[in-house]
Chains A and B, each alone.
Chain A
Amino acid sequence: MAEEYREPVIRITAMPADANAYGDIFGGWLMSLMDMGAGLIAARHSHGRAVTIAMDGMQFHKPVKVGDEVSVYGELRKVGRSSMTIGIEAWRRHRHEEEQVKVTEAVFTFVAIDDAGRPRAIEQES
């Protein structure tokens, strides 16, 4: 792989409890994992509480199977006064193999909020 090394925000094994009624991994579980990953990036960047206000463009390219290792990668794409746009990808790797395949991607929007739940300004990097 000539690809640049990226640090995953989450790396986890898909378990039977994460499967749908047909035995493959449930799309909703992947969505929730991606939201968790985006939430980590948002909290880390804004140094505080941040919540999801929107998600768009999620496409599921390939199925994930029980036992696969799932890695979530994310990047901060845009920072507004109190909002953050975060691109998230999920990749699967069969537990016996080295090859990783992208299974889904989406764009999340988070808002940094204060203790009262009101939007707060994010410190801007120069």
Chain B
Amino acid sequence: MEFEAGGHESGELVIRVTAMPTDLNPYGGVFGGWLMSQLALGAASLVTRRTGHKAVVVGATDFTFPGVMLVGDELNVYASVQRTGRTSMTIATRGFGRARASEHQVEVATGLFTFVTLDENDRPRAIAATSEIV
């Protein structure tokens, strides 16, 4: 799989980061929990950008880990808005690993996040119905 910058079918590139030795599991592979937390960071960044509000995760479902990643590989996280509710937004995320010396990307993690946007008092706030939200 090779993709042009900004033209990925899975959405926008929200994170591109190298897996480091502190991100490994006890067996030396990239830790699944680190992947989940990178997907969460990427999804949160898209929600805040689209809505302009503080947003927190209220749900995470349908996670799969179809491939493996090694230390030094580059993780690419793509995110897209799947659904916009009154105060919530569901984001589909996909993570692809790329070996440092290769152009080939392998899917390593996928999952859905639901966020709720909050006001200054941490109460759910309505998402403006703008054409910006896609």
Chain A interfacial positions (CB closer than 8 Å to B) = 20, 22, 24, 26-29, 31-36, 39, 43, 49, 51-60, 63, 106, 117
Chain B interfacial positions (CB closer than 8 Å to A) = 25-27, 29, 31-34, 36-41, 44, 54, 56-65, 68, 111, 122
User: Which A-B residue pairs are the 5 nearest by beta carbons?
Assistant: A32-B33, A28-B37, A28-B40, A35-B33, A27-B57
Query: How far does the alpha carbon of A53 sit from the alpha carbon of B68 in the complex, in Å?
Result: 10
The one of A20, A29, A54 that contacts B64, using a Cβ cutoff of 8 Å: A54
**Interface residue SS majority, chain A:** mixed
User: Given the complex, which residues of B lie within 8 Å of A56, measured CB to CB?
Assistant: 61-63
Query: How far does the alpha carbon of A51 sit from the alpha carbon of B32 in the complex, in Å?
Result: 8
**Interface residue SS majority, chain B:** mixed
User: Given the complex, which residues of A lie within 8 Å of B111, measured CB to CB?
Assistant: 55
7 contacts between A and B (CB under 8 A): A28-B36, A28-B39, A35-B33, A51-B32, A54-B64, A60-B58, A63-B122
- A65: shortest Cβ distance to chain B, in Å? 12
